[in-house]
A and B are shown apart, each in its own frame.
Chain A
Amino acid sequence: MSSSGRIQVARVVLSKDLRIERRSKVLTSQIIPFAVVTLVLFAFALDGDAILQRTAPGLVWIAMLFSSMIIVQRNFAVETSDGALDALRVAGADMSAVFWGKWLALVIQLLVLEVVLLIGAFVMYGIEFRGPGVVLLVTSSISATCGLSAVSTIYAGLASGVRGRESLLPLLVMPVASPVLIGATRAAEAAFGTGGTVVSEGWPWLGVLSVFAVVFSFGGSLAFGPLIDD
């Protein structure tokens, strides 16, 4: 398949996923409320403004991780329930292009979720956005989301169409995604100045997150074909 053909496949898969989302509104009607409820429950469990402010970056990313599991399960459930992935394979679509399409669709949905969670943390946990920290926050969040999306897409592809995938997916993704959780939390702490940290402490984490995103995105695009192709 030519490279322009691949890009076209990726674009079609991306727009299809986003169109399904726009029509079904699962993100806005179920997943965002779930993430917000998680934030509220954290506040109940960790009663105290000081603790919440101190742990806000970690809580936001834990809520992200949990919610991302639901989004990715759904993204793949629509593929397997109608045998759509098989149809794509029979049609001769390049599977790495399908991976990139699904990856980008997940990145976009996760970024929307992240914005909502950060606003939630701003309102409920009292985090503060500082001028120089915003650049770090935006870049590290995008890198972390790219990495998380890659890992989730790989393992969701693997678990798609298998019984018990709902419980298998978190078991596979969570340990692998731990560098994302650590990196994104620390970068966010530096961006917010939590616990007296300064913005410069956050930049090494952007490096970790970027390496992770590159390794797993390209690794995923290579592995996705053999994973689906059976």
Chain B
Amino acid sequence: MTIDTPPITAATQRRGTSTPATRVIGILTISMTIWLGVFGLVLSPADRDQGDAVRIMYVHVPSVWLAYLAFIVTALASGVHLFGRRHSLQADRVAGASAEIGVVFMAVTLVTGMLWGRITWGVYWQWDARLTTTALLFISYVGYLAVRGLEGTREQRARRSAIVGLFAVLEVPLVHWSVKLWRSLHQEATVLGTDLDVSLDGLMLFSLFVGVVAFTLLFVWLLLHRSRMLTMLDLSAESGLESALAQRRAEGGASA
């Protein structure tokens, strides 16, 4: 026998996760993204050395910024959950939502970086310190999301993932330091150096700035929606259990 759809409670009655504030942020995000498209694809010039490949940067740099921002928010929210007096589950949901966004944009960073690398260096991947650290960071947060998916109560999930979230941030400087040392003691990239001297002209820099603003707004918008959705999922799981219990009790009452 299947469990019926949870009854609509006051908390789940509102349709969707949007509020006037998120609508405003959403509209701002869309307009900034259109602006980014115009600046990145039309107005900004092609680079002297890299040609049109430089336009990948307008997505690549903002997405890595967003991913780092998301991981920092995850760590802060994890800290709030773990060390806060109330062990707030809301902080845990914010941490989870932020990590999900971070992982998606870290993947975008890696893919756009590889495409740019193929055009500019002739290879998709180089074992450069920054690339290696980024890849390891990506895998670490995939692991964090796997921990969030483990069985157990909400409190268990929150505590486990908060600890993993804090360790993951702790590993960022350690991994980066060791990888940098690893590269510095080993041969440098022989085909083409990874640190191309990119001096940006004014319009390029402005386009990049537009990209960073657009992606930051996107992050806020996604975070608000996703964390609200996680709250609703938790509420729905709770009311689903309650309705199942009520059903069993009713069955017991009927047979008595």
Q: For A101, list chain B residues within 8 Å (CB).
A: none
- Contact: A175 with B182, CB < 8 Å? no
- Contact: A226 with B82, CB < 8 Å? yes
B28-36, B59-67, B139-147, B195-203: which lies at the A interface? B139-147
A204 in contact with B82 given A158-B147, A176-B171, A178-B136 (CB within 8 Å):
no
A50 at the interface (CB under 8 A from B): no
Nearest A residue to B160 via CB reads A158
B16-24, B162-170, B231-239: which lies at the A interface? B162-170
Inter-chain CA distance A182–B171, complex, in Å, is 14
In B110-141, which residues have CB < 8 Å from any A CB?
A: 136-137, 139-140
A113-121, A124-132, A211-219: which lies at the B interface? A211-219
A28-36, A70-78, A166-174: which lies at the B interface? A166-174
Total contacting residues, chain A, CB less than 8 A: 29
**Which listed residue (B139, B152, B156, B167) contacts A154, Cβ 8 A?**
B167
- Contact: B175 with A204, CB < 8 Å? no
Residues of B in contact with A, size category: 20 to 34
Q: For A179, list chain B residues within 8 Å (CB).
A: 171, 174-175, 177-179
- Contact: A182 with B179, CB < 8 Å? yes
In A9-61, which residues have CB < 8 Å from any B CB?
A: none
Q: For B174, list chain A residues within 8 Å (CB).
A: 179, 208, 211-212, 215
In A138-164, which residues have CB < 8 Å from any B CB?
A: 154, 158-159, 162-164
Inter-chain CA distance A154–B156, complex, in Å, is 15
Inter-chain CA distance A168–B144, complex, in Å, is 10
- Contact: A158 with B163, CB < 8 Å? yes
Inter-chain CA distance A190–B63, complex, in Å, is 39
Beyond the given A223-B163, A226-B82, please list 11 additional residue pairs across the A-B interface where CB-CB is below 8 A.
A154-B167, A164-B150, A168-B150, A172-B147, A175-B143, A182-B182, A201-B185, A205-B181, A208-B177, A215-B170, A227-B163
Nearest B residue to A183 via CB reads B178
A192 CB to closest chain B CB (Å) equals 15
Inter-chain CA distance A163–B181, complex, in Å, is 38
A185 CB to closest chain B CB (Å) equals 9
**Which listed residue (B150, B170, B182) contacts A219, Cβ 8 A?**
B170
Inter-chain CA distance A62–B143, complex, in Å, is 20
B242 CB to closest chain A CB (Å) equals 23
B60 CB to closest chain A CB (Å) equals 22
Nearest B residue to A202 via CB reads B185
Binding site for B on A (CB under 8 A): 154, 158-159, 162-164, 168, 171-172, 174-176, 178-179, 182-183, 186, 201, 204-205, 208, 211-212, 215, 219, 223, 226-227, 230
A58 CB to closest chain B CB (Å) equals 12
- Contact: B139 with A171, CB < 8 Å? yes
Binding site for A on B (CB under 8 A): 82, 136-137, 139-140, 142-143, 146-147, 150-153, 155-156, 159-160, 163-164, 166-168, 170-171, 174-175, 177-179, 181-182, 185
Nearest A residue to B179 via CB reads A182
A204 in contact with B181 given A158-B147, A163-B151, A175-B143 (CB within 8 Å):
yes
- Contact: B156 with A175, CB < 8 Å? no
Nearest A residue to B168 via CB reads A176
Inter-chain CA distance A168–B147, complex, in Å, is 8
- Contact: A171 with B178, CB < 8 Å? no
A–B pairs, 29, beta carbons within 8 Å: A158-B160, A162-B150, A162-B151, A163-B151, A164-B150, A168-B146, A171-B142, A171-B143, A172-B147, A175-B139, A175-B143, A175-B175, A176-B168, A178-B175, A178-B179, A179-B174, A179-B175, A182-B179, A186-B182, A205-B181, A208-B174, A208-B177, A208-B178, A211-B174, A215-B170, A219-B170, A223-B163, A227-B160, A230-B156
Inter-chain CA distance A203–B172, complex, in Å, is 22
- Contact: B163 with A208, CB < 8 Å? no
Q: For A172, list chain B residues within 8 Å (CB).
A: 143, 146-147, 164
Q: For B159, list chain A residues within 8 Å (CB).
A: 226-227, 230
* Nearest 10 A/B pairs, CB to CB: A179-B178, A175-B139, A175-B140, A172-B143, A230-B156, A175-B136, A171-B143, A182-B182, A223-B163, A162-B150
Inter-chain CA distance A174–B171, complex, in Å, is 12
